Structure 1
């Protein structure tokens, strides 16, 4: 189905660029079903980062069964991603606009300028980095091993295709991702079949962790795992074209299960992979994995990684282009997508030449949680308290006195809750670069995720009931 803007331009076609940005979507232009969202989230969730993160659970010192339990627990936050997706059809605009209801017009610009770019940069870079490392590893087997030129060329090619996906936008994502999901699941299942014979099912670390060190590893692992679903605040962008009367429960289920099921499965496969390759992982997980695969499968797997990278980063770039418009940058959505892609490619090239994949993934995801978890908590509380009801016109009324103008354009309940969540969670985080004082006192136990969620949610829910909530309160 194709819909048109008032000027007759195609806005949701799989074969032409989407011209609509954050503008409200009229009921006549709504289409699709909630179940379509399952494949939209499954395609980007079948990725090599899942294998990498799963392997890192073993590197933290966990036994195999412990790693699997932490991985399953880390998939629970996908429910939050599903809950906020409900706001998309209700408001008929992007998530970066809907958050004006929480932070006010001016406050939202600050939060989105920081968070929107941070999430985009981190996930664009991490996924392109995975493709660059694996592609370079594969080409090295054929004698092409320039450590500088090869990662740069791979990054630039993948980035260009990714931006093209973002330019065509929602229509292409909705129609292409089901096929992409099927192809990726098939490739990764074949790869899994070659990993399983090498798995050490009785794996135990030489010195099993106990007591505080064990809880430190468990909580750090959970923080890394939870950072993924807690950062997907763009789920309303994917659901905004759905008819207004789409059942919220269906939206939540399709979004949460689409992301959680494949990601959980292949993250567990990553943990199994770590027991299979053992010390060979020290030289790079990507090389150790390729060594397990037959010659005919390695190129197919790298192709799957590239396809997934394009799928995930295409979605991220698309949402980031909407964020640029939401914060007031005078740029159309398509040029905005190009700008986002260029910044992500530059960061990827820097990381590819200066770090390893495992180090980059773990460190960046742990820091990302400091800002993504509080915003997700605030968003979820807002959706629940409003029972998923948003008036799109109010979200675009930026005049003083408007419903979401709040205090001089600042939604103080949301802004203060965000600051409180970030500051308190920073006290409980444990990374190789920064360890919060409370985490250090507890023996490097990382409670940044639950602290960020509880503090931000509590402060926001409490302040919204006061005068600070003004006319914008639920």
Structure 2
């Protein structure tokens, strides 16, 4: 049953709306407002860390820069997916009922929502925990576990608070947050640059299969970031239905892409000025050592602000994902549940691994889920020309527009399953190396395989399936103009 609820968006009150349809009278804003929403989370210490890992893989600087640019171009897919939000007027986790079917969507969103949300919450809280603990150690508090755990709990509580206040708070404060973070990280960059070895060359230049192995592993690690943001419709869904799709794509993609390219490149430069022994002790320690005493606390504060901004948005969208699969819970308590799950995973990682190891391992494994789900979402948007009927998406009755086969859309389910299983054969991570990757000299083709196989299976099967529903169009014919 379709539910359209009117809730006034007051900055000082929590947002009560969950996945309910947004009426035309409540639509507001411009596409350009999405730029800072995505820029704030992208000005991140994770970018510095991942950029440094490219140098540890043995790449030369120009090779690292090429990989960074190529991987960040995948932000275009995030922008393509975002345009379904204003078209449907609801959360992306509801829009995907058109891809997987009513029942199939519950399975996909349940697994994807819990796993992706918890992992990304943990990775970002982990950054704040390690950086904060390092700063506390310099102030004399050296407990290796208690410091990171306390910081994690405090930051997690503030993050959940942001998610509770929701969409209007995010749109209002993220432009300010993006500006503050940009200033802080540019200051950090200024003090990093004197330590850069501009004549850097790896001890042994890579050629042939070893080079392609490092390039593709680095690409997979970097690509996992944009590919994980299939929640972009949630942030765009309040825009007027008439908003140009091209403007939404540009604002979303550039917001994530530009700071991502810049600060990941700074991370690669950073690694040229740190010896291997220092990197083993933790990049957070080496990074703080490069900064003047007065800037260290400011930088850690920036890391924490960035963590809250990214995880606040993740928690916000994850809370709606739980609603979309039929769990009888309101959005606000759902946000609290998501926060508790992410906090538990963060504490586990804090006590069991280093920051750099956790980042690289978790980001690579995310590809097996985020690659296929992003590929099929973007493919469906293009196939339908962004024609989604919000009212029909809420029709969960047998025989409804998206009931398909007993509630399952076989092309969608088959595509993501085949995409993920095939990509696993080409994955090369610290935890698992696929047999085809090993046969090719540890080259990691998991990202292109996930995208190509998923999209190809979905396109071919939907073109051949005569029972595919043709939703009624309630958006302008130039929705993709």
Alpha-carbon shift at residue 9 of structure 1 (Å): 4.2
After TM superposition, the score normalised by the length of structure 2 is: 0.96
User: Partners of 1:473 and 1:430 in 2: how far apart?
Assistant: 41
Q: What is the DSSP-based 3-state SS (H/G/I as helix, E as strand, rest coil) of the residue aligned with 1:35?
A: helix
- Tell me what 2:239 maps to: 242
**Residue 450, structure 1, aligned to residue 448, structure 2:** yes
**Alpha-carbon deviations, 1:279-306, whole Å to 9, x = none?**
2111100000000000000000000000
User: Partners of 2:261 and 2:6 in 1: how far apart?
Assistant: 43
- Tell me what 1:253 maps to: 250
**Alpha-carbon deviations, 1:145-176, whole Å to 9, x = none?**
11111111000000000000000000000110
Alpha-carbon shift at residue 277 of structure 1 (Å): 1.5
- Tell me what 2:150 maps to: 153
Taking the TM superposition and a 5 Å limit, the aligned residue runs for 1:101-140 are 101-140=98-137
Alpha-carbon shift at residue 118 of structure 1 (Å): 1.0
Alpha-carbon shift at residue 7 of structure 1 (Å): 7.2
Asked if the contact 1:412/1:468 (under 8 Å) is kept, the reply is no
Alpha-carbon shift at residue 433 of structure 1 (Å): 1.2
- Tell me what 1:359 maps to: 357
Taking the TM superposition and a 5 Å limit, the aligned residue runs for 1:185-196 are 185-196=182-193
Asked if the contact 2:4/2:23 (under 8 Å) is kept, the reply is no
**Residue 275, structure 1, aligned to residue 272, structure 2:** yes
- Tell me what 1:378 maps to: 376
**Alpha-carbon deviations, 1:324-374, whole Å to 9, x = none?**
000110000000000000110010001001000110000000000011111
Alpha-carbon shift at residue 278 of structure 1 (Å): 2.0
Alpha-carbon shift at residue 472 of structure 1 (Å): 5.0
How many residues in Structure 1 have an aligned counterpart in Structure 2?
Answer: 469
Q: What is the DSSP-based 3-state SS (H/G/I as helix, E as strand, rest coil) of the residue aligned with 1:465?
A: helix
User: Partners of 2:436 and 2:5 in 1: how far apart?
Assistant: 57
Alpha-carbon shift at residue 468 of structure 1 (Å): 6.1
User: Partners of 1:138 and 1:149 in 2: how far apart?
Assistant: 13
User: Partners of 2:415 and 2:118 in 1: how far apart?
Assistant: 24
Q: What is the DSSP-based 3-state SS (H/G/I as helix, E as strand, rest coil) of the residue aligned with 1:184?
A: helix
User: Partners of 1:453 and 1:335 in 2: how far apart?
Assistant: 35
Alpha-carbon shift at residue 473 of structure 1 (Å): 7.5
Q: What is the DSSP-based 3-state SS (H/G/I as helix, E as strand, rest coil) of the residue aligned with 2:273?
A: helix
- Tell me what 2:325 maps to: 327
**Alpha-carbon deviations, 1:410-468, whole Å to 9, x = none?**
01110000001011000000011110000000000000000000000000011112236
Asked if the contact 1:464/1:473 (under 8 Å) is kept, the reply is no
- Tell me what 1:317 maps to: 315
Instruction: Return closer, same or farther for 1:132/1:466 CA change in 2, 3 Å cut-off.
Output: same
- Tell me what 1:286 maps to: 284
Residue 140 of structure 2, aligned match among 143, 157, 160: 143
Residue 302 of structure 1, aligned match among 283, 300, 303: 300
User: Partners of 2:5 and 2:160 in 1: how far apart?
Assistant: 25
User: Partners of 1:464 and 1:243 in 2: how far apart?
Assistant: 30
Taking the TM superposition and a 5 Å limit, the aligned residue runs for 1:58-207 are 58-207=55-204
Gaps of 5+ in 1: none
User: Partners of 1:326 and 1:163 in 2: how far apart?
Assistant: 19
User: Partners of 1:180 and 1:133 in 2: how far apart?
Assistant: 21
User: Partners of 1:179 and 1:20 in 2: how far apart?
Assistant: 24
- Tell me what 1:337 maps to: 335
Alpha-carbon shift at residue 469 of structure 1 (Å): 4.6
Taking the TM superposition and a 5 Å limit, the aligned residue runs for 1:430-441 are 430-441=428-439
User: Partners of 1:208 and 1:399 in 2: how far apart?
Assistant: 61
After TM superposition, where is structure 1 displaced by more than 4 Å over at least 4 residues in a row?
5-9
- Tell me what 2:424 maps to: 426
User: Partners of 1:332 and 1:173 in 2: how far apart?
Assistant: 19
Residue 233 of structure 1, aligned match among 230, 233, 236: 230
After TM superposition, the score normalised by the length of structure 1 is: 0.97
Q: What is the DSSP-based 3-state SS (H/G/I as helix, E as strand, rest coil) of the residue aligned with 1:245?
A: coil
- Tell me what 1:216 maps to: 213
- Tell me what 2:263 maps to: 266
Asked if the contact 2:4/2:21 (under 8 Å) is kept, the reply is no
Alpha-carbon shift at residue 13 of structure 1 (Å): 2.7
Q: What root-mean-square deviation, in Å, do the aligned CA atoms of Structure 1 and Structure 2 show? A: 1.2
User: Partners of 1:390 and 1:269 in 2: how far apart?
Assistant: 41
Gaps of 5+ in 2: 473-481
